[in-house]
Amino acid sequence: MSTHELDLKKVGVRGINSALQALPQNTNEKHWVVKNPMGQHAIAVGLSAPLQVDIRGHVGFYCGGMNKEAEITVHGHAGVGVAENMMSGIIWIKGNASESAGATANGGLLIIDGDASSRCGISMKGIDIVVGGSVGHMSAFMAQRGNLVVCGNAGEALGDSIYEARLYVKGKVANLGADCIEKEMRDEHLQDLARLLEKAKRKDRPQDFRRYGSARKLYNFNVDHADSY
């Protein structure tokens, strides 16, 4: 597969995004390298083709936002809101991520090799997130669907006001947020966790994690009567 290069210093963020967004689903130009990202914001957003994009350096806010199908690798750190509202595909951060990583994302896989700051997975709606390090306070706040895997520790108020997302933490949890409780780790959860760890190329053992989720005390309706609403 041939590799194509885009130099942000020469074409700017708009030039990078315009070139990548214009590629059709059936393009043969699948592998792209972005040089000199220089911490700029909104790099590689709104992609909707099965591309492989390697960003050689650090990125600013909202990298990979609204991603569909593309596999984006950041060879550095990422700013606020990486993979925000992602629909599908993979975004892999080889360094650390700032706050609100994976916010409101509906699908796909976000892998962060390092640490993630506060509110990781806020209002996640179906994304899978694997963090190799620790996450900050209020992570998985109002998380609705999907899985958050933390191979390190979790800060205060984990899973505050959580809905049906599943949280797996290997290390210590400072404390749990409103309506979030520790739950039984059944075989189905161990299998799901093993699958996600394998995708992230992690060697951690699923048996070393604990699972957290909703106590379902804050719901405004009875799930048994959902068809009536």
Q: What is the spatial distance between Cα 206 and Cα 227, in angstroms, rounded to a whole number?
A: 36
Statement: residue 190 has pLDDT above 50: yes
Strand ranges (DSSP E) for 94-142?
Answer: 109-112, 125-131
Q: Quick: pLDDT tens for 123-172.
A: 999 999 999 999 999 999 999 999 999 999 999 999 999 999 999 999 99
Q: Quick: pLDDT tens for 110-121.
A: 999 999 999 999
Q: Quick: pLDDT tens for 44-96.
A: 999 999 999 999 999 999 999 999 999 999 999 999 999 999 999 999 999 99
What single string gives the DSSP state of each residue in 49-105? S--EEEE-S-B-TTTTTT--S-EEEESS-B-TTTTTT--SSEEEESS-B-TTTTTT-
